Structures are given as C-alpha cells and as structure tokens.
Amino acid sequence: MTEPRLRRDQSGWLLASTTLTLAPHAEHLPLALGALCALLLLWRGILAHTGRALPHRLLLLALAAGIVAIVQIEFKHLFGKDPGIALLAGLLSLKLLETDSVRDGRAVVLLSFFMQLGQFLYQQNMAIAALALLGSVAAIASLLALQGSVTAPRLRAGAATRLVLQGVPLMLVLFVLFPRVQGPLWGLPADAYSSVTGLSNSMAPGDMARLSESSEIAFRAAFEGDLPPPAERYWRGPVLSRFDGHTWRPGRTHATDAPAYRSQGIAHSYTLTLEPHNQSWLLALDFPGSVPGLIYTDNFQLLSREPVRSRQRLTLVSYPHTPVGLDESPNILRQALDLPAGFNPRTRELGARLHAEANGADDIVTRTIAHFRNSRLRYTLDPAPLGRDDVDSFLFDTQQGFCEHFSAAFVVTLRAAGVPARVVTGYQGGEFNPVDGTLVIRQSDAHAWTEVWLAGQGWVRIDPTAASAPLRIQNGLAAAMPDSAHLPLLARTDLAWLRDLRNRLDALDNSWNQWVLGYNPARQKALLAALGFAEPDWQVLTALMGAASAIVMGLLTIWALRRRSSADAIDRSWTRFCRRLKTIGYERATWEGPLDFAERLARQRPDLADTVRRIASDYARLRYGPADADPALGQRFHQSIKNFRPR
C-alpha cells in the first residue's frame, strides 16, 4: 500500500519543529555546518510553499557526504558528543529534503525528539528547558498533523500543549522517584567537561583580563546575617609561588583533613553554590573552618577530594581575621623568594634600592605600595603588549595593566627586596541580588592579589590593584573601568533597568538550580526518608514509582472520562434548543432525527421554519459531519440557540 504524501500543512509543521529543535544547537555547530543546515531548511520551506518536487537522491547523497566531511574536518573524528550532535543536526536537516510521506515524517519527529534531548548534553539551565519544551510541543503538533486532517495552526498547537500538560503529573513522579545520577549527562572523558570556564592553575599576562570579559556566574553565596564588607570579599583560589619569568604556577603543597590554623575573630556563615569548573578548588572566603570531607592545604586553599564537575552546595564558616602562617616552614619561605635569573633587571634594581632605603620588611612593603601609587599605573582590560621582561615593561614602559600585571609586579619587587611574597588568584567582590538575597560572583570578578610574609604577622593579604584602582575593590570591575572600557553587557552598572532584569533572571535561575538541578541523590534520599523510607533500594523505588504512576494514570483516566468535549458542548446546546421548544408545546420524539423534527415543526409553526431548519441543519453538520468543519459554523450554531426565544 502506497504511503500518503505530505500535505502542505504537514510539511510546515515538520519544518517548524525541526527549526525549533536545531536553533539552540546553532552556537555549538561549526559555522560551515550551521550555515548549511539553515540553507537546507530554507530550501525545504521553498519547496513546500511552491509544491515543487524534492531533489534527486544522488544530490542528497552528495550533500550527506559533504556533511560528514565538514564534521570530520572540524573535529578530526566522528565519535563523541560534539561531532555526534553536529552530524545528527546536519542529517536531520537533510532528512527533510527527502521527506514526502507520513512515514518519513514520523522519522523526522523522532529525530527531533532526540536532538531536543541533546541540548541538555551542553547545558541544563532553565532557558534550555524552555526551548526543549517549545520544540517538544511543535514535534507533538507535527505528529497530530500527520495523523489528522487540516486544522488551524492555533488549534493544533493548543491540542499539542494539552497533551504535554497531561504528561506533567507523570513527569513529576519520575522526577521525584527515579534514581538520581550524579554528574554530567555526558560521560566520555575526552569532552565531558570541555565547555567549562573559570580560573586556571597558572597565570600569565592577559589571562585574568580575558576571563573578566565573561559574565558567566562562577558561584553564589547566601550569607546568614550581614554581608562581609567589600574589603573582605576575597574568594581564594590557586596560590601561585613559582615564577619562570613569564608564567606563575603553584608551588609544592601539603594537604590535610583539617586547617593548619586556629580560627578566631569575626565569623561569616554562608552557603556556597559553586558552578562546575572541573578543578578541585572550592573558592571559599579566607579562612574557612573545619568541614569533614574537605581538604586543607598549607597555602590555605580549600579543596574538594574530586574535581567539581557538577553544581555543589557547601555550608561554610570563614574567619577572615585569623592569623595564618606565623610559623611558616623555611622551604615555603625560600620558594616565596625565588626569582628566575636573567629576567626583569629594572624591577630587581628597584627592589634592591627599596631594600637599602627601608627599615625592615614592613617599611619595604609600605614603600613599594607608595611607588606603585606614585607611578600612576593605569588599570585597564586592554593593556599594551609587553616585551620579554613582562614586569619591567609594565612598571617602567606601558604602565597599564590588569590585576595580574599589578600582582606579578608587586611580588617580583618584594622578592627582589628580600620579602617573601606570592600571588593568589580567585575572585573579589560580587554583586548582591536583592531579589533572592544572594551574592552573585561572576567570571568578570576574577582577580589576582598578593600575600606577603611578615615576621610576627604571618601571611598578610595586600592587594596592589587597590593602590591604583581602589574602586575595583569597593564597587567592582565596572566602577574601576573608564567609560570607554569594553565590558560584558551584564557587568555594566549604568543601566538600572538592565541590572534589575538581570537580578530577577538570576534569582529565577538560582531557584531552578536549587530545586530542579539541585535535586541530587542526597536530596532524594532526604525526601524519601521524610516519607518513611529511610534506606530505599531499587525494589522499593520501583514499587513507589509503579504505585504513583498507577495513581496518576487512574486520575487522568477519570478526568478524561468526565471531560466535556466539543461534541458535548454541541449536544448541550441542542438539548437546550429542544427544551425551549418543549416549553411551548413542541416536544421532539425520541426516534425523531434533527432534520425530521425541524420539518415537522416548520409545518406546525411556519413563523419559526427558517430558524429551526437552519439550527437543525447546523447541528447535523456539526454532530455527524467531517471533524474539520468550519469553526465559524459552530460559533453560529451556539449563538443562534442562545438567541432563540420561541413563544
């Protein structure tokens, strides 16, 4: 039996669902492949509109080979998340150009569903979920179009939306009870975390400036009580002690299960919600108290035992005024004085001069800060290129740079003057969101500062950026940049409406992260324990899912059986019409059809003949005629009966 060919409306729905499905993938596709997919979809739309024949199979085979070649050239292989999604995107676009039957249309819909799932391999945020939901509605509408007759797009979309809503209760049951899987949806080690951004474990000129151009959220902090002042909002990341003349890297460290310091002073309690960055550092405020299961290094970093590959929530207490490193080991101090030979001779000379003029280490630090301030160094995201001796070029030639330039130059100067110092990277500041009461720290808040070791004081934080750009510490990156500086749109503070919109979207996104994406195995276990299932195994979970699903399906069945359909509305109006005639003495016999009843009534009441014949004819067409009757006919039928007042 020959498969029926697609109608124009069916082709239109398939094209719409495919376009909505592929649109979110555009940013992940190679430029050439994305352009080719757009051209193929446009080509199919023109063919559907004009009614022309689909292209020959040989041409389709050549296009398929071209798609495979583009993916191979771009990714160097055909296996894995990125090349696999790219290949499917191209083939889905191409599939439309050979789809001319209902059977092929169903294959396009199934591919669309698979590609909607593929969106979550990159991100699982609320925007992606909304796009996937929109694509699913379009795909279901396509299935309805493939099965039914021509219907107005608005009615078709409404029917698809109702079907999706009917599936929501069952979706909630599976969401709550299906065993949670910790970690990303994609597990191949080669590319599971290729898209994460954040701090690196090294620092070279320009690294922080590039990172600060991103408005992505690095983490959020919800404090109990007042926020710490801006001068204490330093979120500690990698500590860099080794310098090769160009790049800073971590030194040798020792890790323990408890901090090497005794916490004291003001305490800040907060919950940290950390975005995945595929590294072990946890970016806590200085200096966190003991938390079981975490790792503390001798350079005061807080680490996780595994790389942070999924969103994590930690409840911490930090004590920023705790003295640390009072009895520092000689090996660490020697490492904090080391400078590579043959680099930055002018900065070495500056350090030697400061050492000769000063009265002790404290005075050297004070004089170095004064030198930086008096040099009128300029804070900018777009510094001039540096020479081989980066620090010399920054301090004496260009005199413009970002935080990594300031911190590196400060440490090199102090080391040349005989004072142990090192670079600390992390984040500084954050913006309070009044909508949900959290402090939001973005990649644009990435920062580098220094720590100096002073006898009797231990390691002391000194931020040389504050000497030239104090507004950076007090009010954030945007306040420290000149008006012409290139900033991420979401980092700008001069647009109040944009800031308010961003805060609301951030709060909504945070709620999604906490309650949907944050529903991890621990939270599922806690919920089930609250319901009386302390240690549920797979058998218990299976029984719970089965029982809950049966209840949901039963309720939906009862609702469907009691649901009033459009046919019910037609019968209700017809019954009202017959009841009004009965009240004036003209009752319809049980065996009498609508047209026969109208004819008998017309003979008995000629004054009502035209009205009752029209109403009876409309009822017969609506009740027993084609399912795709004109919607205007139904409106006329109901309105006619509403206005019918026989006497």
Mean pLDDT across the stretch 539-567? 77
What is the reported pLDDT for 248? 93
pLDDT at 377 over 90: no
pLDDT at 379 over 90: no
Residue 364 phi, psi dihedral angles, 5° rounding: -60, -45
What is the reported pLDDT for 489? 55
pLDDT at 52 over 90: no
Q: How far apart are CA 29 and CA 178, in angstroms?
A: 32
% of the chain with per-residue pLDDT over 70: 90
Q: How far apart are CA 334 and CA 579, in angstroms?
A: 102
Q: How far is CA 466 from CA 203, 323, 350, 354, in A?
A: 19, 22, 20, 20
Beta-sheet strand order (sheet of 268-274): 312-318, 268-274, 217-223, 438-442, 431-433
Residues with catalytic function: 403, 447, 463
Rg (CA), the chain: 35
Contact between residue 51 and residue 66 where contact means Cβ atoms under 8 Å apart: no
Mean of the per-residue pLDDT values for the chain?
85
AA identity, residue 494: D
What is the reported pLDDT for 149? 77
Mean pLDDT across the stretch 162-176? 88
Q: How far apart are CA 239 and CA 459, in angstroms?
A: 12
Q: How far apart are CA 453 and CA 422, in angstroms?
A: 9
Q: How far apart are CA 606 and CA 618, in angstroms?
A: 19
SS3 424: strand
Closest C-alpha among 552, 569, 545, 547 to residue 166: 552
The model's confidence at residue 473, banded by pLDDT at 50, 70 and 90, is low
Contact between residue 126 and residue 508 where contact means Cβ atoms under 8 Å apart: yes
Give the count of alpha carbons within 13 A of 160, CB side only.
25
Q: How far apart are CA 18 and CA 138, in angstroms?
A: 9
pTM above 0.75, yes or no: no
SS3 for 214-253 is CCCEEEEEEECCCCCCHHHCEEEEEEEEEECCCCEEECCC
Upstream peptide bond of 287 is cis (omega within 30 degrees of 0): yes
Angle separating helix axes 631-643 and 566-582, nearest 10 degrees: 30
Higher pLDDT, 487 or 366: 366
**Encoding tokens for residue 579?**
């009841």
The model's confidence at residue 352, banded by pLDDT at 50, 70 and 90, is very high
The residues facing 236 across adjacent strands are 426
AA identity, residue 472: R
Higher pLDDT, 500 or 397: 397
SS3 322: coil
What is the reported pLDDT for 190? 44
The model's confidence at residue 267, banded by pLDDT at 50, 70 and 90, is very high
pLDDT at 567 over 60: no
Q: How far apart are CA 174 and CA 539, in angstroms?
A: 15
The model's confidence at residue 7, banded by pLDDT at 50, 70 and 90, is confident
601: left (phi over 0), alpha (psi -120 to 50) or beta: alpha
Q: How far apart are CA 101 and CA 258, in angstroms?
A: 67
pLDDT at 381 over 90: no
pLDDT at 568 over 90: no
The model's confidence at residue 197, banded by pLDDT at 50, 70 and 90, is low
Q: How far apart are CA 450 and CA 411, in angstroms?
A: 7
What is the reported pLDDT for 478? 58
Q: How far apart are CA 608 and CA 640, in angstroms?
A: 13
Contact between residue 640 and residue 577 where contact means Cβ atoms under 8 Å apart: no
The model's confidence at residue 362, banded by pLDDT at 50, 70 and 90, is very high
Q: Is 288 exposed, middle or buried (0-12, 13-18, 19+ CB in 10 A)?
A: buried
pLDDT at 450 over 90: yes
**Encoding tokens for residue 66?**
């071209």
Contact between residue 243 and residue 412 where contact means Cβ atoms under 8 Å apart: yes
Q: How far apart are CA 120 and CA 184, in angstroms?
A: 9
Q: How far apart are CA 104 and CA 429, in angstroms?
A: 55
What is the reported pLDDT for 499? 72
What is the reported pLDDT for 90? 92
Mean pLDDT across the stretch 12-38? 92
What is the reported pLDDT for 14? 93
The model's confidence at residue 211, banded by pLDDT at 50, 70 and 90, is confident
Mean pLDDT across the stretch 369-377? 89
What is the reported pLDDT for 39? 94
Mean pLDDT across the stretch 180-185? 61
What is the reported pLDDT for 189? 45
What is the reported pLDDT for 628? 55
Mean pLDDT across the stretch 26-31? 90
What is the reported pLDDT for 257? 92
Lowest mean pLDDT among 185-194, 298-307, 338-347: 185-194
Q: How far apart are CA 517 and CA 223, in angstroms?
A: 21
